[in-house]
Every structure is written in C-alpha cells, then in structure tokens.
Chain A
Amino acid sequence: MRFLRQSLVIAGKDLRAELRGKETINASLSFSVVILLLFSFAFDPSAEETRAICGGLLWLVFAFAGALILNRSFSRDQPNDCLDVLISSPMPPAALFLGKVFANMVLLLTVELICLPIFGLFYNVNWTRQFGMLFLVLLLATWGLTVVGTMFSALTVNMRLRELMLPTLVYPTMIPALLGAIQLTTLLAVGEPITPDDYAWLRLLVGFDVIYTLLGLALVDTVLVG
C-alpha cells in the first residue's frame, strides 16, 4: 500500500509540474491535431474509407504524440540532479517508475480524449455510440504504450541520441498492443459493437499489459540503480 502511495506522490509531482508549464501537453496536442488535419488533406477519405482506416489513423496519431510525452518523462528530472535525488531516496525505484507511468498515462489519455472530438468533427464520424467499450480499449492500450515507453525512457535518459533511440526501441516492442488497439478502435470509433471474434484482441491487450507491467517493475531497478 505504501508502494502505491509513493507512486501516486510521484505521479502527482509530475502532473503538477506539467500543469504549471504545460509545455509537453501543448506540444503533444498541437502535434496530434496537425497530423489529423494533414491526414484529412492528404487522403480526403470518404465515409467508407474512414470506416476502414480510423483505427490505424487514430493510433498512429496517439503513438507519435505519446513519443513526445515519453521523451520528457525522465528527462524532465535531469536538471539540478533531480533524478539522482529521486533514485537515492528511500522510495523503491519501481515506485518511481510506476508513478511516472501513471503521470504519462493521464497525459496521454488527456490528449486522446481531446483528439477524439476533433477527429469526429473533421472526419464526420460519430464516435459516441460505443464510447464505453472505446474508453476501455483506450485505457488498456494507453497503459501498454506508457509502460513500455516509460521503461525505455528510463533506459535512454542519459544518452546523447535520446530522441532518436527512444522511438527506435519503443515502436517495435509496442506493435502487438498497437495492433490490438487498431483492430478494436476501427470497429468502435465508428460505432459498431465488437463481436466475440474480436475478444482475441482484447485478450492480447490485457496480456500485453500484464506481462510488460510485471517486466517493467522487475527490471527498472537494474536500469535506474544498477
């Protein structure tokens, strides 16, 4: 329980810092909106085409926006040796990791929930019909993305080429979760219910989340401390 409270303290710290500066979330939001617009110009999809591609489109946007958020996750604590202080505090590094995952999750979810209405506007899609299930998919997939991304963010925090190595490492590992999310979102975002055939994708998302959360919590000690 103490572990969870420590994580929430870290998450609160990160979110408060972000709310004061709002740099990451502004960058992430404007980037996502621009990409949504660009896709609309570039492909000008008809209603039929939008139905077919909306899952892929949305999750590509979220993945790119997520990379911006994840980059800042650990590097925000680098000035003034804040990261070293956090690591050497009595709090276990896994709690630090979990706190940052929570914070990134909230930020990415915010970006996603703001992007959905914009997507609905520009592409003429009514995404509210299956919103309950859609929100569940958003939660599961965003957790998967942020767990993997925060882990690799911790790995690359001290590297010169951080902005280049983070996407290179994160995207291949994230692809199973992205795939599941895309398949499910393609149905849900245009308001169609998911069939029992698609439960395999939900199982994939849940399995991915469980495995990578466990792996992350187990390995982050090694990454941060040594």
Chain B
Amino acid sequence: MREKLIYLIAVGVAILLVANLYNILLVLPDEANQGAIWRIFTFHFPSAMSAGLCSFLALIGSMMYLWRRNLWWDAFAVSATELTLAFGAIVLITGMIWARIIWGIWWAWDARLTSTLVSWLAYAAYLIFRKAIEEPTARARYSAVISILTFPGVIISWKSIEWWRTQHPGPVLTIRGGGGMAPGMQPAAYWNLLALAVFAMILLSIRLRQENSQRLIDGFRRQVHEI
C-alpha cells in the first residue's frame, strides 16, 4: 500500500517536472541581459531550498534521537544528510556554471559561496565519521552531536546574503519594490521547488527504509552467527 502511494507520488512529480521543463525551455523567453542561462535558476533555487530543508530534517532527526534514543531517528538523520549533500552538490555546480557566464569566473570566495561549500564539507565529514565507528548506538550518539554542531553553518550560509555584501546576488524572489525576478518567470521556479521538495521527501523515505532494512540485516547476521 505504502509502496503504491510512493510510486503514485513519484509519477506525479515526474509529470510536474516534465511539464515545468517544457514551460522553462520552450515557452518562457530569454532574459534581457543573461540570455538563456537564467533558466538555471529554476533548478538552482529549488535545490538550495531542498538542501536547506533536508539539513533541517537532519537536525530534527538528531535531536529526536538524543531525546528518544530510538535508532529509527538516527536512520532518518543519515538519510536526510545524504540528501542534503546531493542537493547541495546541485546548488554548488549549477551556481558555478551560471557564474562562469555571468561573472566570468567559476568561483569567488564571498560569504555565501564559502559558507555553503564549508557546510557541504562539514556534512561530508559527518558521513566519513560514521564509517569510522562500528557500534550502532555510539555511532548514532556521536553523529547526532556532530549534526547539531554543523547546523549553525547552514543558518550562516542562508543569512549570508543579508548580513554581508556578497558577489552572490541578493534575495531576488523576496525583495520588495522591484529589482527582483520578472514575475512571469517566477512560477517556473516555484513549481520546480514543489517538485524537487516532494522528490526529496520520496528519496528520503526510500533511503530511510533501506537504513532500517540494513539494521534488520545486522540483526539477522548476529542471529546466524549464534546458530
């Protein structure tokens, strides 16, 4: 039943993505100064939001684990962190490609880019750390602490364009009184946001189920050793 529901939602997401892609590539016009490259924003922004959402879910999972000591929450935290890394990679790479055209350089060490890259590295270190500890409860406990300690970095990254003058563009969707994105182009970004966020949740539930299966397997393995 649950599997069917996931498949149904996944099909819905796929249809939405394709329809939106059609809109982005074939219906909407080029931007005046940027040409066709503005369309990357329709993936860059939703991926950033999804990555932020997943890192917040990882924080929730870690805190819930420390409160309840139920390993399900640890599985939840790992799955969310992996998704944060995947969507974070999309943000960084699409951003770099856009920057190559608009600024002429692949990278700049301004506050937003640096803090995003650093947070990405911190979550990668989280996964590396988990590989080094074998015992499940110790691993879950330490990982939860690390996850809580790395979350402020995400907040810094999010707020960096408000707190510092950065090369990265300021808020274009929430800016009041002009200077933002053309209103005809905004729905494309928002539909993609919905699609990618739901897709992230689907991947999260699949990965979560795999983690729990892995725990069952470890249990079986111990049983087999005893027989």
Q: Do chains A and B touch in the complex (CB under 8 A)?
A: yes
Which residues does A use to contact B, with CB under 8 Å? Answer: 148, 151-152, 155, 159-161, 165, 168-169, 172-173, 175-176, 179, 200, 211-212, 215, 219, 222-223, 226
Interface residues of B, count at CB 8 A: 25
For B133, the chain A residues whose CB sits under 8 A away are 159
Partner of B118, one of A159, A172, A226: A172
Say if the beta carbon of B141 comes within 8 Å of chain A: yes
Chain A-chain B contacts (Cβ-Cβ < 8 Å), number: 60
For B115, the chain A residues whose CB sits under 8 A away are 175-176
Cβ contact within 8 Å between B141 and A223? yes
**Cα of A122 to Cα of B206 in the assembled complex, Å:** 59
Partner of A222, one of B122, B129, B145: B145
Cβ contact within 8 Å between A222 and B144? yes
Say if the beta carbon of B148 comes within 8 Å of chain A: yes
For B122, the chain A residues whose CB sits under 8 A away are 169, 172-173
For A175, the chain B residues whose CB sits under 8 A away are 114-115, 118, 153
Cβ contact within 8 Å between B149 and A161? no
Contact with A along B62-100 (1 / 0, CB 8 A): 000010000000000000000000000000000000000
Partner of B148, one of A159, A179, A215: A215
14 A-B pairs with C-beta separation under 8 A? A155-B145, A159-B133, A169-B125, A172-B121, A173-B149, A175-B114, A175-B115, A175-B153, A176-B156, A215-B148, A219-B149, A222-B66, A222-B145, A223-B142
| Residue among A148, A176, A219, A223 with max Cβ neighbours from chain B (10 Å) | A176
Closest to B65 in A: A222
For A169, the chain B residues whose CB sits under 8 A away are 122, 125, 129, 146
For B149, the chain A residues whose CB sits under 8 A away are 148, 151-152, 173, 212, 215, 219
